[in-house]
Structures are given as C-alpha cells and as structure tokens.
Amino acid sequence: MSRQFRSDDTDKWKYGFGTGSAGNGSINTSTDAPIDSACSGTSGTTSLTATNASFATGQLILIHQTRGTGAGNWELNKIASYSAGTITTVHSLCNTYTNSGASVAQVLVMTEYNNLTINSGQTLTAKAWNGTVGGIIAKFVKGTVQGVTNSIINLNGNVGNANGNPGVGIGFQGGYGQQGQAWSYYGEGTSGASAQGSNANANGNGGGASKATSSSNAGDSGAGGGNGTSGANAVCTAGNCGIAGTGGSTAGVAALTTMVFGGGASGGANGASESNGAGGGSAGGGICLIIAKNIDLTYLTINNKGGDGEASSWRRAGGGGGGSVLLKCQTATLGTNKIVATGGAGNGGGAGGAGRIHLDYKTSYTGTTNPTLDYTQDATLDYPSAGGAFLYNLC
C-alpha cells in the first residue's frame, strides 16, 4: 500500500497541497524546527508511537523509516488525535515503522503554507540528523514556493576535520579517522550507525578506510558514501598502504518512492609512527520534500550535497553521498542547476556518490538539475474538493 500523492497510490492522498493554514511564510536565515519525534507503528493500524506534546489533531505528517529495516520507506498521513505518546492517524499505516536497535523511524509535521518565500540572501537550513530525528525539510505550499535574490535551502552534509572528527549533520554521519594500526570508522548509513571496519555499511554509506598493517607507516584514505550512485573506494595516498575500505552502494529509487539520506563517508587511517592527522569522514546530504502548487527556483537554490572529503591531513577522508530532493507540483520553474545533490569530492579519499532528484508535475516544467532530473507527468497533482474527492476523474 502507498500514500505518496501519486497516480499509482493504492490509498489516495485527499489533502492536495495542504490548507495554507500557516499563512504566507517569509523566511530569514534560520534552522528549520519541525514538530517531530522518533516513532514506531505497524502496517494496517492507525496507531503510531511518538512523543511530542505539540502534535495535534488535523496536522499533516510525513512518516519516514530513516535507518534499518525498510530504510527509505515513507508515507503521508493526517493526525486524527494525539494522547500520551500515541498519534492516532486518520488513515491506516501503509508500512511498518521500527524504532529499535539499528532501525530508526521518525515522524514530522509538514507546515502548510499559503505561499512560502525565502528572503533575499537568506538561508533555511535543515535540522541536523542526530541519530533519532532531523535531516529532513518537508513542506506543503498551497500556492507558490519561491526565493528572492541569492536565497538558499540548505541540506548539505557537514565536513569532517583534520583531527579525525567526523562530519555530523545534515544527513548520515561520517566516520572517525584513526591512528596507530587501527581500523578507521566507516560512515553511518541505511543499515546502522558508524563503527570500525573496512566494509561498506549497507546501501547508503561509506565503507571503512583502512587498517594499518605491521608496517609502521601503512594506512589509507577514507571511502565515499553512496545514494543515487555508489561512493568510490578508498585509495592509497602513500607508497606504504594499508587495506582500502569499500565505498557505499546505491540506495533508494529514481522516483523517490523510497528515499534516503546520503551515506556518511569513512575516516582515514594512519600507521603507528605517523604524526600527520587522519581526517574524519564527511556527512551525507539530507532529504528535501516540497509539495506545492507552483515551484519557482529562479532566485532560490536547493543545496543537498555530500560534504567534501577533508583535504588538509595526510590520510584524507572520503566524501559524503548526495541527498534526495523530491518535488511535487503543477508547474515548476527550476532554472539551470538550481538544485544540486552531488556527492562530496574525495580530495585524496574516495568521492561520494551522487544523490537523487525527482519531480512529479501536472502541467509543465522547465530547467535542469545536477545530477540530472528524473521526472514524471502526473495528472493527479490537484486540489481535492470540499468533500475529499479530487477535482479530476481518476478513470
């Protein structure tokens, strides 16, 4: 079962582009602060365990399995009521959402703007993923979302540093760099948190970098995180090399019916006698979901890149994977590469894989993106009538 405001949904989305109840949004530089919570619930039920006193009847929500079993599954729903740590939803859950062990799911309220403008020279930054919630910007706009000159929506992954500390936020965390004949840490990804080792951390994440061998100066750079394409493997940056780690594999799907964060990159690893720092891996990009009647990016850029590999240390870290951008609208003016979801540069480590960008539109779109836009024309992207039925004939 699916409820994603698509023509092939098995349970149709009845609320169009939202009610506009939040009025006209005028955004200055700020960090997004949605009402959110970790959550869990079972497919076919209307009960979602979630703790946040600000959840309220009538709010439209996004539910996302961010990590672990079913990672990337998501759906739209509406709150019927909230009481004592439990959301009762209007519609049965399409998927099972798990919040236990390596599996983390989250629910967030999607603000319902009438129109949304990012003001001139201002930046709206996603809340950083903290292992429980964050990493997602998700909005309904009944009218038009647009920017004024040099405005930005920012979901870029943060960069690790030369002292071995990883990039933390916006998407999956990078891995720590290590010295002294030890494995570096691979990046966080769809199957779990960062840990020491050389293998890729499932399908969205950078692999571990290297283990110094018995040779005192053996080490390797970090591997890149993945998403739409795989991250690059670690590379040898000196003549005496350790064991290279594996880049993160692909994740999600082109239409973003399954969508994930960019994978975190792994840190570098130095041998026991090396005095130079081993760089920390960079984080991946996040998730941007905008459902609006009109989207105009003439003066607005959406940045959702993986963090570049830290470049100042000898054993350099990998680049984070690019994030996911999903737009649903009637008309879209995208400009020229105003949406960027590329992987982070390797800078001596493995480069991050590209993210994914998909557009569902009803009437028309113009423009290009980086990486190349995947798109579908969909006549069902319309407002519902007062009675809940759509204004078009599904047959």
Q: What is the pLDDT, as a whole number, of residue 61?
A: 98
pLDDT class of 94 with cuts at 50, 70, 90: very high
Determine, yes or no, domain membership for 61. Answer: no
- Domain assignment present for 191: yes
pLDDT at 234 over 70: yes
For 285-330, the pLDDT digits (tens) are 999 999 999 999 999 999 999 999 887 766 678 899 999 999 999 9
Distances (CA, A) of 1 to 287, 288, 388: 22, 23, 19
How does strand 74-83 pair with strand 60-67?
Answer: antiparallel
Give 197's contacts (C-beta < 8 A, 6+ positions apart). Answer: 183, 185, 186, 207, 208, 245
Domain of 207, in residue numbers:
127-386
Q: Which of 134, 286, 316 is nearest to 224 (CA)?
A: 316
Question: Given this model, what pLDDT does residue 185 score?
Answer: 87
Report the residue count for the chain. Answer: 395
Is 379 domain-assigned?
Answer: yes
190 lies in a domain? Answer: yes
Residue 237 lies in a domain: yes
Q: Per-residue pLDDT averaged across 358-368, rounded?
A: 98
Domains held by the chain: number: 1
Q: HSE-up of 382 (CA within 13 Å, CB side)?
A: 15
Enumerate residues 6+ apart whose C-beta is below 8 A from 322.
Answer: 227, 228, 262, 284, 285, 304, 305, 306, 341, 342, 343, 344, 352, 353, 354, 355, 356, 371
144 or 313, greater pLDDT: 144
Q: Which amino acid is at 104?
A: V
Share the mean pLDDT of the chain: 89
Over residues 254-266, mean pLDDT:
96
pLDDT tens-digit series, residues 31-65: 999 999 999 999 999 999 999 999 999 999 999 99
Q: Does the pLDDT at position 270 exceed 90?
A: no
Q: Is residue 200 part of a domain?
A: yes
Q: What is the pLDDT of residues 181-191, one digit of tens each?
A: 677 888 999 99
- Would residue 13 count as lying in a domain? no
Helix (H, G, I), strand (E, B) or coil at 204: helix
Look at residue 260 and tell me if it is in a domain: yes
Output DSSP code: residue 189.
B
pLDDT at residue 158 above 70? Answer: yes
